[in-house]
Amino acid sequence: MNILVFGQTGQAARELAVYDGVTCLNRAAADLEDPGACAAVIATRRPDAVINAAAYTAVDKAEEDEARASVINGDAPGAMARACAELGIPFVTISTDYVFSGEGDQPWQVDDPTGPLGVYGRSKLKGEQLVQAAGGAYAILRTSWVVSAHGHNFVKTMLRLGAERDALTIVADQIGGPTPARDIAAACIEMARQLATDPSKAGIYHFAGTPNVSWADFARETFAIAGITCTVTDIPSSDYPTPAKRPLNSRLDCATLEAVFGIKRPNWQAGLRDIVKEVLG
């Protein structure tokens, strides 16, 4: 299966690149700030499926850059989805738990009302809506707390800071499921393959690591695996203000993905061990 991937340097894109038949496009080949050009690439290359693993992910910066975030996270995937619909091929795009308000303590269902807290979440929700409106065989994969040995993410930051300091204060009231990018890539590939033979599986799905955990406890587990002695003190989000408000509840109910595609939630602890090993060499 010939799969065209938008994105090359992001966490999920780097994991997708290892699959046979996958071609990853960098910004020079497909600039998401030019949605029409992205659609043209699909029409020209005519792949068997398309996965969008590129996005504007600078959550805080987006608060002052809404127009650009809206194009990259909204208009671009919408254009890709329309191009795929015209060719009759599957389109899979990665979304986020940030489309929700983060209220409560129950896992978010795929059909729960959305309510983004900031620009990033709004831009991703716009993308979801445009992909749905395109009318093709699509899969929107909402995920959370993406981690890998590549790029900028919480695990790499903790490994660096933990080696430099004896103690850290980390928020403990944000709860979610850390998700290894390697597992996200595998899920996207499998969904694209199944959609190619059964377009009726189109829809929105959730995918996040298990068990749910706080950022503080996730840091503790990272240090334990890495053999780093660094004391973690729990703090509320209010003690660590950021330009963009983070959702407190990032729990995702992933039952629909398993029921329809047979894809189970990954154990993030197993993935974390692999990531730490790769980062530390």
Is 164 among the domain residues?
no
Has residue 120 been placed in a domain? yes
DSSP letter, residue 252? B
Task: Count the domains in the chain.
Answer: 1
pLDDT digits (tens, 9 = 90+) for 79-119: 999 999 999 999 999 999 999 999 999 999 999 999 999 99
Give the residue-averaged pLDDT of 256-281.
97
Summarised one tens digit per residue, pLDDT across range 214-253 is 999 999 999 999 999 999 999 999 999 999 999 999 999 9
Report if residue 227 sits inside a domain: no
pLDDT tops 90 at residue 255: yes
pLDDT digits (tens, 9 = 90+) for 14-34: 999 999 999 999 999 999 999
Confidence of residue 143 (pLDDT cuts 50, 70, 90): very high
DSSP reduced 3-state for 272: helix
- pLDDT > 70 in the chain, percent: 100
**Cα 41 to the chain's mean position, in Å?**
23
Give the separation between CA 117 and CA 246, rounded to whole angstroms: 7
Active site residues: 120
What pLDDT, on a 0 to 100 scale, did the predictor assign at position 281?
Answer: 87
In this structure, what are the phi and psi dihedrals at residue 177, rounded to the nearest 5 degrees? -115, 105
Residues 72, 122 contacting (CB under 8 angstroms): no
Does 136 fall in a domain? Answer: yes
pTM score, whole prediction: 0.96
Helix (H) / strand (E) containing 188? helix 181-197
Which tokens in the block code for residue 135?
């009318």
| CATH code of the domain covering residue 42 | 3.40.50.720
CA nearest 49: which of 82, 87, 20? 87
Phi, psi of 147 (to 5 degrees): -135, 150
Q: Which residues of 242-258 are buried (b: 16+ CB within 10 A; e: fewer)?
A: eebbbbbbbbbebebbe
For 189, the domain range is 3-151+178-208
